[in-house]
Chains A and B, each alone.
Chain A
Amino acid sequence: MAVQFSEEKLNKVNEIIARYPAGKQKSALIPVLHLAQESFGGWLSADTMDYVAGLLQIEPIEVYEVATFYSMFNLQPVGKYLFEVCQTGPCMLRGSDDIIHYIKEKLGIKIGETTPDGLFTLKTVECLGACGYAPMMQLGKFFKEHLTKEKVDQIIADCRAQANN
Protein backbone atom coordinates (compact mmCIF):
# COMPACT_ATOMS: atom_id res chain seq x y z
CA MET A 1 0.00 0.00 0.00
CA ALA A 2 1.48 3.28 -1.05
CA VAL A 3 1.93 5.79 1.72
CA GLN A 4 -0.17 8.86 0.99
CA PHE A 5 -1.81 11.49 3.21
CA SER A 6 -5.43 12.37 2.54
CA GLU A 7 -6.08 15.79 1.07
CA GLU A 8 -7.20 17.07 4.45
CA LYS A 9 -3.95 15.91 6.05
CA LEU A 10 -1.91 17.41 3.22
CA ASN A 11 -3.57 20.73 3.95
CA LYS A 12 -2.59 20.30 7.58
CA VAL A 13 1.02 19.62 6.49
CA ASN A 14 1.06 22.82 4.47
CA GLU A 15 -0.42 24.73 7.36
CA ILE A 16 2.37 23.44 9.60
CA ILE A 17 5.09 24.34 7.06
CA ALA A 18 3.68 27.88 6.85
CA ARG A 19 4.48 28.42 10.56
CA TYR A 20 8.18 28.65 9.77
CA PRO A 21 10.17 31.12 7.66
CA ALA A 22 10.60 30.35 3.96
CA GLY A 23 13.23 27.68 3.41
CA LYS A 24 12.94 26.40 7.00
CA GLN A 25 10.36 23.73 6.21
CA LYS A 26 12.54 21.15 7.97
CA SER A 27 11.20 22.62 11.22
CA ALA A 28 7.91 20.93 10.34
CA LEU A 29 9.53 17.50 10.55
CA ILE A 30 8.53 16.48 14.08
CA PRO A 31 4.90 17.65 13.78
CA VAL A 32 4.58 15.95 10.39
CA LEU A 33 6.07 12.71 11.75
CA HIS A 34 3.47 12.80 14.53
CA LEU A 35 0.78 13.19 11.90
CA ALA A 36 2.26 10.35 9.85
CA GLN A 37 2.45 8.03 12.83
CA GLU A 38 -1.19 8.71 13.68
CA SER A 39 -2.25 8.20 10.07
CA PHE A 40 -0.28 5.09 9.16
CA GLY A 41 -0.92 2.50 11.86
CA GLY A 42 0.82 3.98 14.89
CA TRP A 43 4.38 3.51 13.67
CA LEU A 44 6.85 4.82 11.12
CA SER A 45 7.97 2.46 8.39
CA ALA A 46 10.90 3.29 6.13
CA ASP A 47 8.36 4.00 3.37
CA THR A 48 6.53 6.44 5.61
CA MET A 49 9.73 8.22 6.52
CA ASP A 50 10.78 8.45 2.86
CA TYR A 51 7.38 9.87 2.00
CA VAL A 52 7.76 12.55 4.71
CA ALA A 53 11.23 13.39 3.40
CA GLY A 54 9.73 13.94 -0.04
CA LEU A 55 6.98 16.17 1.34
CA LEU A 56 9.46 18.38 3.18
CA GLN A 57 12.06 18.27 0.41
CA ILE A 58 14.78 16.97 2.70
CA GLU A 59 16.98 13.86 2.52
CA PRO A 60 15.55 10.61 3.91
CA ILE A 61 18.52 10.34 6.27
CA GLU A 62 17.47 13.60 7.92
CA VAL A 63 14.14 11.98 8.74
CA TYR A 64 15.72 8.73 10.00
CA GLU A 65 18.04 10.72 12.25
CA VAL A 66 15.13 12.42 13.94
CA ALA A 67 12.79 9.42 14.03
CA THR A 68 15.42 7.29 15.78
CA PHE A 69 16.24 10.00 18.35
CA TYR A 70 12.84 10.71 19.85
CA SER A 71 11.22 8.06 22.02
CA MET A 72 7.66 8.76 20.90
CA PHE A 73 8.29 7.53 17.38
CA ASN A 74 7.72 3.81 17.02
CA LEU A 75 9.96 2.17 14.46
CA GLN A 76 8.23 -1.20 14.80
CA PRO A 77 4.53 -1.99 14.56
CA VAL A 78 2.67 -1.68 17.86
CA GLY A 79 -0.69 -2.90 19.10
CA LYS A 80 -3.87 -0.94 18.62
CA TYR A 81 -3.57 0.23 22.23
CA LEU A 82 -0.13 1.22 23.41
CA PHE A 83 0.26 1.29 27.20
CA GLU A 84 3.19 3.54 28.09
CA VAL A 85 3.64 3.19 31.82
CA CYS A 86 5.89 5.62 33.67
CA GLN A 87 8.51 4.05 35.93
CA THR A 88 10.63 7.04 36.98
CA GLY A 89 11.28 8.03 40.64
CA PRO A 90 8.08 9.84 41.63
CA CYS A 91 5.87 7.17 40.01
CA MET A 92 8.01 4.45 41.55
CA LEU A 93 7.41 5.96 45.00
CA ARG A 94 3.68 5.55 44.40
CA GLY A 95 3.86 1.93 43.27
CA SER A 96 4.41 1.97 39.49
CA ASP A 97 6.40 -1.28 39.72
CA ASP A 98 3.29 -3.08 41.00
CA ILE A 99 1.17 -1.63 38.22
CA ILE A 100 3.65 -2.70 35.54
CA HIS A 101 3.82 -6.18 37.06
CA TYR A 102 0.04 -6.39 37.14
CA ILE A 103 -0.35 -5.36 33.49
CA LYS A 104 2.28 -7.90 32.47
CA GLU A 105 0.39 -10.68 34.24
CA LYS A 106 -3.01 -9.56 33.08
CA LEU A 107 -2.05 -9.33 29.42
CA GLY A 108 0.44 -12.19 29.52
CA ILE A 109 3.17 -10.17 27.83
CA LYS A 110 6.57 -8.79 28.74
CA ILE A 111 7.64 -5.18 28.43
CA GLY A 112 8.01 -4.30 24.76
CA GLU A 113 5.73 -7.11 23.59
CA THR A 114 2.36 -7.08 21.87
CA THR A 115 -0.53 -9.43 22.66
CA PRO A 116 -1.12 -12.11 19.97
CA ASP A 117 -4.43 -10.49 19.01
CA GLY A 118 -2.53 -7.30 18.16
CA LEU A 119 -4.56 -5.24 20.61
CA PHE A 120 -2.12 -4.28 23.34
CA THR A 121 1.53 -3.30 23.52
CA LEU A 122 3.21 -2.63 26.87
CA LYS A 123 6.06 -0.17 27.07
CA THR A 124 7.77 1.40 30.06
CA VAL A 125 8.65 5.06 29.71
CA GLU A 126 10.50 7.70 31.68
CA CYS A 127 8.82 10.63 33.41
CA LEU A 128 5.77 11.98 31.57
CA GLY A 129 5.09 14.95 33.83
CA ALA A 130 2.21 13.61 35.89
CA CYS A 131 4.20 12.92 39.07
CA GLY A 132 1.49 14.26 41.36
CA TYR A 133 -1.09 11.94 39.86
CA ALA A 134 1.06 8.80 39.97
CA PRO A 135 1.12 5.99 39.06
CA MET A 136 0.15 6.79 35.51
CA MET A 137 0.40 5.81 31.88
CA GLN A 138 -0.11 7.35 28.50
CA LEU A 139 -2.77 5.81 26.29
CA GLY A 140 -2.96 7.47 22.90
CA LYS A 141 -3.44 11.18 23.28
CA PHE A 142 -4.31 11.18 26.96
CA PHE A 143 -2.93 10.28 30.37
CA LYS A 144 -4.52 7.70 32.65
CA GLU A 145 -3.66 8.76 36.17
CA HIS A 146 -3.98 7.53 39.77
CA LEU A 147 -3.77 3.96 38.47
CA THR A 148 -4.91 1.06 40.60
CA LYS A 149 -5.37 -2.59 39.66
CA GLU A 150 -9.12 -1.98 39.35
CA LYS A 151 -8.53 1.00 37.07
CA VAL A 152 -6.18 -1.04 34.89
CA ASP A 153 -8.87 -3.74 34.61
CA GLN A 154 -11.37 -1.11 33.56
CA ILE A 155 -9.04 0.45 30.97
CA ILE A 156 -8.32 -2.95 29.43
CA ALA A 157 -12.03 -3.82 29.37
CA ASP A 158 -12.86 -0.47 27.76
CA CYS A 159 -10.22 -0.97 25.08
CA ARG A 160 -11.52 -4.48 24.31
CA ALA A 161 -15.10 -3.20 24.11
CA GLN A 162 -14.08 -0.36 21.82
CA ALA A 163 -12.10 -2.72 19.58
CA ASN A 164 -15.11 -5.03 19.22
CA ASN A 165 -17.38 -2.26 18.07
Chain B
Amino acid sequence: MSEEYSVEIVNPEKSFLSKDDVTEVVVPAFEGEIGILKDHISIISFLKPGIIKIYSKSGEDSFYVNDGIIEFKNNNLSILTSLILNLKDIEKEKISEIQKSAEEELNKSDINDQEKYLLDQKLEVLKSIN
Protein backbone atom coordinates (compact mmCIF):
# COMPACT_ATOMS: atom_id res chain seq x y z
CA MET B 1 0.00 0.00 0.00
CA SER B 2 1.32 3.36 -0.89
CA GLU B 3 2.11 5.75 1.85
CA GLU B 4 1.52 8.89 -0.13
CA TYR B 5 -1.10 11.58 0.12
CA SER B 6 -1.65 14.98 -1.44
CA VAL B 7 -0.89 18.41 -0.11
CA GLU B 8 -1.90 21.81 -1.39
CA ILE B 9 -0.56 25.12 -0.16
CA VAL B 10 -2.57 28.21 -1.05
CA ASN B 11 -1.88 31.82 -0.31
CA PRO B 12 -4.31 34.63 -1.10
CA GLU B 13 -2.69 35.36 -4.43
CA LYS B 14 -2.50 31.89 -5.85
CA SER B 15 -2.20 28.20 -5.32
CA PHE B 16 1.40 28.09 -4.18
CA LEU B 17 2.17 24.43 -4.34
CA SER B 18 0.36 21.21 -5.06
CA LYS B 19 1.86 17.77 -4.67
CA ASP B 20 0.42 14.32 -4.52
CA ASP B 21 3.40 12.17 -3.70
CA VAL B 22 3.95 13.37 -0.18
CA THR B 23 4.87 10.93 2.53
CA GLU B 24 5.16 13.23 5.52
CA VAL B 25 4.58 16.87 6.34
CA VAL B 26 5.81 18.54 9.49
CA VAL B 27 4.01 21.77 10.34
CA PRO B 28 4.69 24.24 13.14
CA ALA B 29 1.28 24.08 14.79
CA PHE B 30 0.25 26.45 17.48
CA GLU B 31 0.88 24.05 20.30
CA GLY B 32 3.95 22.39 18.91
CA GLU B 33 5.07 20.71 15.74
CA ILE B 34 2.82 18.13 14.15
CA GLY B 35 3.99 15.49 11.77
CA ILE B 36 1.27 14.26 9.47
CA LEU B 37 1.45 10.86 7.84
CA LYS B 38 -1.07 9.15 5.65
CA ASP B 39 -4.45 8.31 7.21
CA HIS B 40 -4.04 10.82 9.96
CA ILE B 41 -7.30 11.67 11.69
CA SER B 42 -9.11 14.72 10.27
CA ILE B 43 -7.61 17.74 11.88
CA ILE B 44 -7.87 21.50 11.80
CA SER B 45 -5.11 23.50 13.38
CA PHE B 46 -3.30 26.79 13.40
CA LEU B 47 0.24 27.53 12.50
CA LYS B 48 2.65 29.78 14.25
CA PRO B 49 5.63 31.30 12.45
CA GLY B 50 7.97 28.49 11.55
CA ILE B 51 9.20 26.03 8.98
CA ILE B 52 7.01 23.63 7.07
CA LYS B 53 8.86 20.52 5.94
CA ILE B 54 7.47 18.41 3.17
CA TYR B 55 8.95 14.99 2.52
CA SER B 56 8.01 13.43 -0.76
CA LYS B 57 9.28 10.83 -3.18
CA SER B 58 10.95 13.56 -5.19
CA GLY B 59 12.81 15.01 -2.25
CA GLU B 60 12.47 17.31 0.67
CA ASP B 61 11.19 20.90 0.67
CA SER B 62 11.21 23.49 3.40
CA PHE B 63 9.15 26.65 3.57
CA TYR B 64 8.96 29.51 5.96
CA VAL B 65 5.42 30.55 6.92
CA ASN B 66 4.19 33.50 8.90
CA ASP B 67 0.88 32.07 9.98
CA GLY B 68 -1.73 29.77 8.59
CA ILE B 69 -4.41 27.19 8.99
CA ILE B 70 -4.17 23.56 8.06
CA GLU B 71 -6.94 21.18 7.33
CA PHE B 72 -6.37 17.50 6.86
CA LYS B 73 -9.23 15.42 5.60
CA ASN B 74 -9.50 12.24 3.53
CA ASN B 75 -5.78 12.25 2.92
CA ASN B 76 -5.84 15.77 1.60
CA LEU B 77 -3.83 18.37 3.40
CA SER B 78 -4.67 22.01 2.73
CA ILE B 79 -2.46 24.71 4.11
CA LEU B 80 -3.73 28.27 3.97
CA THR B 81 -1.19 30.95 4.70
CA SER B 82 -0.80 34.64 4.07
CA LEU B 83 2.97 34.59 3.64
CA ILE B 84 5.09 31.69 2.49
CA LEU B 85 8.66 31.60 1.27
CA ASN B 86 10.62 28.74 -0.17
CA LEU B 87 13.81 28.31 1.82
CA LYS B 88 15.71 27.25 -1.26
CA ASP B 89 15.50 30.53 -3.10
CA ILE B 90 14.89 32.87 -0.25
CA GLU B 91 16.59 36.25 -0.25
CA LYS B 92 18.52 37.43 2.72
CA GLU B 93 17.10 40.95 2.43
CA LYS B 94 13.55 39.68 2.55
CA ILE B 95 14.24 37.87 5.80
CA SER B 96 15.93 40.87 7.33
CA GLU B 97 12.96 42.95 6.31
CA ILE B 98 10.48 40.67 8.06
CA GLN B 99 12.82 40.42 11.00
CA LYS B 100 13.03 44.17 11.32
CA SER B 101 9.30 44.71 11.21
CA ALA B 102 8.82 41.98 13.80
CA GLU B 103 11.35 43.64 16.06
CA GLU B 104 9.60 46.95 15.72
CA GLU B 105 6.30 45.31 16.51
CA LEU B 106 7.81 43.69 19.56
CA ASN B 107 8.97 47.01 20.90
CA LYS B 108 5.47 48.40 20.93
CA SER B 109 4.01 48.61 24.37
CA ASP B 110 0.42 47.68 23.60
CA ILE B 111 0.87 44.07 22.60
CA ASN B 112 -0.52 41.23 24.61
CA ASP B 113 1.23 38.09 25.74
CA GLN B 114 0.02 35.99 22.87
CA GLU B 115 1.27 38.43 20.29
CA LYS B 116 4.53 38.69 22.11
CA TYR B 117 4.91 34.95 22.13
CA LEU B 118 4.26 34.76 18.40
CA LEU B 119 6.70 37.52 17.62
CA ASP B 120 9.39 35.93 19.73
CA GLN B 121 8.82 32.70 17.88
CA LYS B 122 9.05 34.48 14.59
CA LEU B 123 12.35 36.13 15.42
CA GLU B 124 13.83 32.91 16.64
CA VAL B 125 12.94 31.10 13.44
CA LEU B 126 14.14 33.92 11.27
CA LYS B 127 17.45 34.08 13.06
CA SER B 128 17.94 30.38 12.63
CA ILE B 129 17.55 30.55 8.87
CA ASN B 130 19.41 33.76 8.33
Whether chain B is bound by chain A comes out as: no
